[in-house]
């Protein structure tokens, strides 16, 4: 394990003003995305769509890294045969890789999930490094509901996150640890706070037990939010306040950065909440860089603009550039709704 390399890559990923594009949809998930725009999920379409994102001119000003899926890490450009990894590297964007697999019901629990993929990870991690990846990501899912999350679920998922992180660092891949407390449901923001706090405490306890270098790792958490079906959802200022307090209680200062997931929020909600968190973080002073690792929050608009047509690639690229630009502005606490109005006018 090269701690210096891990630390340098972790810090580069959360460089000021930049964040991550999560383009790591599994084959099943990308099919659902394509189904929503009536486009067949062929390998050619997947390459064309993702290559459009990766080649968007100027996006590297706002995007430090891209999380890839196993298939994408191995693919070449449809335009000139260049490996897609090199397309990113040539722009100074760091390629990463999703290494977890599917989630399945947690045995002995009702309504909770555990993430598969730890078997064989040592060999896969070494191969991914050889293919050009420099960071990894593993997602654990925590559900709020009647009597859950349980200690069993939180502990089991935290242990897997720690094992994943240790194996990643062994291969000199900086791990992004993603314990996501889902916003599905009608729970209050206080219930989300409690579940998130308990989850993060256990995650960092397990990372310590497994000897993970915190300086060479990153956190990709949910924001502290009301459930999406809650009757009276908390506004962005309350989201920011509770999110910062929760992390101050649980996340060690040695961690270089926190990359928020959009987690089912709309483009606008994810951007407004990130902006409020950035302002709050600057006011109170926090030890971490706080940025974004968005999938749908960056891709929903370009996916609709593309629609599966080669004629729309430039339009889709412009939509992606705009979302990257305004999300990076929110990461700095400088986002305004006028930025959306200007794009609409254009």
Largest Cα separation within the chain, whole Å, is: 54
pLDDT computed for residue 110 by the predictor: 86
Q: How many domains does the chain have?
A: 1
**How is residue 144 annotated by DSSP?**
-
Q: pTM of this prediction? A: 0.95
- Residue 222's nearest CA partner among 258, 187, 188 is 258
Determine the Cα–Cα distance for residues 39 and 309; give it in Å rounded to an integer: 9
Determine the Cα–Cα distance for residues 205 and 168; give it in Å rounded to an integer: 18
pLDDT computed for residue 15 by the predictor: 97
Determine the Cα–Cα distance for residues 65 and 92; give it in Å rounded to an integer: 9
Residue 337 has pLDDT above 90, yes or no: no
Question: Quick count: other Cβ atoms within 10 Å of Cβ 266?
Answer: 13
Residue 91 has pLDDT above 70, yes or no: yes
Confidence of residue 268 (pLDDT cuts 50, 70, 90): confident
Secondary-structure breakdown of the chain: helix, strand, coil percentages, each rounded to the nearest 5: 50, 15, 35
Q: For the residues 7-35, what does the mean pLDDT come to?
A: 96
Lowest-confidence region among 44-48, 135-139, 259-263? 259-263
Dihedral-angle region of residue 18 (phi above 0 means left; psi in -120 to 50 means alpha; beta otherwise): beta
Confidence of residue 265 (pLDDT cuts 50, 70, 90): confident
pLDDT computed for residue 263 by the predictor: 81
Q: For the residues 21-28, what does the mean pLDDT come to?
A: 94
What is the residue whose two structure tokens read 């000199």? 172
Task: Say which CATH number the domain at 97 has.
Answer: 3.20.20.70
Structural domain boundaries, residue 96:
3-345
Percent of the chain clearing pLDDT 70 (strictly above): 99
The 3-class secondary structure across 287-326, one letter per residue, is: CCEEEEEECHHHHHHHHHHHCCCHHHHHHHHHHHHHHHHH
Determine the Cα–Cα distance for residues 331 and 271; give it in Å rounded to an integer: 8
pLDDT computed for residue 266 by the predictor: 84
Q: What is the mean pLDDT of the chain?
A: 95
pLDDT computed for residue 346 by the predictor: 58
Lowest-confidence region among 82-86, 159-163, 189-193, 229-233? 229-233
DSSP string for 82-133: -BHHHHHHTTTPEEEEE----EEEPTT-SS-EEE---TTHHHHHHHHHHHT-
Q: Write phi, then psi, for 75 (nearest 5 degrees).
A: -90, 160
Residue 342 has pLDDT above 90, yes or no: no
**Looking at the annotation, which residues are catalytic?**
178, 220
Residue 248 has pLDDT above 80, yes or no: yes
Higher pLDDT, 324 or 343: 324
The strand pairing partners of 114, in sequence order, are: 104
pLDDT computed for residue 267 by the predictor: 81
Confidence of residue 343 (pLDDT cuts 50, 70, 90): low
Residue 65 has pLDDT above 90, yes or no: yes
Q: Are 137 and 70 in contact (CB under 8 A)?
A: no
- Residue 286's nearest CA partner among 256, 263, 259, 260 is 256
Determine the Cα–Cα distance for residues 288 and 19; give it in Å rounded to an integer: 13
Q: For the residues 183-208, what does the mean pLDDT come to?
A: 97
Structure confidence by residue, pLDDT tens digits, 152-187: 999 999 999 999 999 999 999 999 999 999 999 999
Q: How far apart are the two ends of the chain, measured CA to CA in Å?
A: 49
């Amino acid at each position: 394990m090269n701690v210096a390399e891990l630390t340098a890559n972790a810090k580069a990923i959360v460089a000021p003003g930049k964040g991550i594009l999560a383009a790591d949809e599994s084959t099943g998930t990308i099919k659902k995305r394509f189904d929503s725009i009536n486009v067949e999920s062929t390998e050619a379409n997947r390459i064309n769509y993702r290559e459009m994102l990766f080649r968007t001119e100027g996006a590297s000003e706002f995007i430090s890294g891209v999380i890839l899926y196993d298939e994408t890490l191995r693919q070449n450009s449809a335009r000139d045969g260049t490996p897609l990894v090199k397309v990113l590297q040539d722009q100074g964007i760091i390629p990463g890789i999703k290494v977890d697999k599917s989630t399945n019901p947690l045995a002995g629990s009702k309504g909770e999930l555990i993430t598969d993929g730890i078997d064989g990870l040592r060999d896969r991690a070494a191969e991914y490094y050889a293919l050009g990846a420099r960071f990894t990501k593993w997602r654990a899912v925590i559900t709020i509901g009647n009597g859950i999350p349980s200690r069993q679920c939180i502990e089991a998922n935290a242990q897997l996150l720690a094992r994943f992180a240790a194996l990643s660092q062994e291969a000199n891949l900086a791990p992004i640890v993603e314990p996501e407390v889902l916003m599905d449901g009608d729970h209050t923001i206080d219930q989300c706070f409690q579940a998130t706090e308990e989850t993060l405490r256990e995650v960092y306890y397990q990372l310590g037990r497994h000897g993970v270098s915190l300086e060479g790792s990153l956190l990709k958490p949910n924001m502290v939010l009301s459930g999406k079906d809650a009757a009276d959802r908390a506004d962005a200022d309350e989201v920011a306040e509770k999110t910062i307090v929760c992390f101050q209680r649980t996340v060690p200062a040695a961690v270089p950065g926190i990359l928020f997931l959009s987690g089912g929020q709309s483009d606008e909600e994810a951007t407004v909440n990130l902006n409020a968190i950035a302002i709050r973080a600057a006011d109170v002073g926090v030890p971490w860089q706080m940025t974004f690792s968005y999938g749908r929050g960056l891709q929903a608009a370009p996916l609709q603009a593309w629609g599966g047509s080669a004629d729309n690639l430039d339009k889709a690229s412009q939509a992606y550039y705009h979302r990257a630009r305004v999300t990076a502005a929110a990461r700095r606490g400088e986002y305004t709704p006028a930025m959306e109005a200007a794009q609409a006018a254009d």
